[in-house]
Structure 1
Amino acid sequence: MSSLSLAQHAVRLQTLLERHIAEVLKQHGLSRSELDVLGALACGEARPQELSAQLLLTTGGISNILRRLEADGHITREANAKDARSNIVRLTAQGKAIAQQTGDAVTDVIDRVLGAVEDSLVETAADQLHQVLIALGEDAPVHRGPTH
């Protein structure tokens, strides 16, 4: 029963936060997946396959996101010198700026939503959920924040 409870609480918190996050993303002209990609690239370049695996997105889904981000001037894609079958994706200066601005705005709205909760409780809950994700082998860097 505790596993069901964990899942229900996690989904409820996610739903609550997503309502507020969606407004911020709309103001910045990004989808959640686009912000996740920008956040992952804030740590450095990556191949689309790496982004797909890290962000739990299909290869088709990541291709569409990368196409939109490239059209908006947020990323560049270059041929991979080590593997001609793949590309290397990097943030542009504009992409870095929008990732930082949007990431900061998302963090601010989450902080406001969770403002009534003691910091120590938030830290404990985050640490415990992080331990669950580690146990599941799902400790991708995206879990540590959109812009690190």
Structure 2
Amino acid sequence: MIDKNLKIKLRPTQISDLDILFKFQMDKESGYLAAFMPKDPTDKLAYIEKYTKLLNDATVNNQTIIIDNVIVGSIAKFLMEGDTEITYWIDRKFWGQGIATATLKIFLVIETYRPIFGRVAFDNFGSQKVLEKCGFVEIGKDKGFANARHSEIEEYIYKLSDS
């Protein structure tokens, strides 16, 4: 259920946001559900270098999610193997409040390129529901190595089209 009183603000991610966003990645439960993490999610220098590059990449749309002047997560559009993809991360302290769904709906107004794809671990039911509530439809499955789980897992592929 989405809290209608949430005042979600999106703004382009700034380098100064990266310290806070990095801390969210350190949460083990969040990382497990995200599954597809860097080999060493504790390597802050690698994280800062990667995202500093991405912030300067015109094909990437990185936005920071803010509620009541508090950074609660991030959302981004990026290109992978020629497809436009979506990714988001909400600080676990804010799970279950409808923030991911509301944020994705706002982001999809800003980011109008379609089709756009979302990928989610087979057992990340929360993210599956977020994508479905925002009009994404499951179109396939894939397997990939999930660093957070140290094994290959199945992921579901979702697609949002204009129609």
Using structure 2 for the length normalisation, give the TM-score. Answer: 0.30
Higher RCO, Cα 8 Å, sep 6+: 1
Using structure 1 for the length normalisation, give the TM-score. Answer: 0.32
More helix per residue: 1
From the CA coordinates, give the structure whose radius of gyration is larger. Answer: 1
More strand per residue: 2
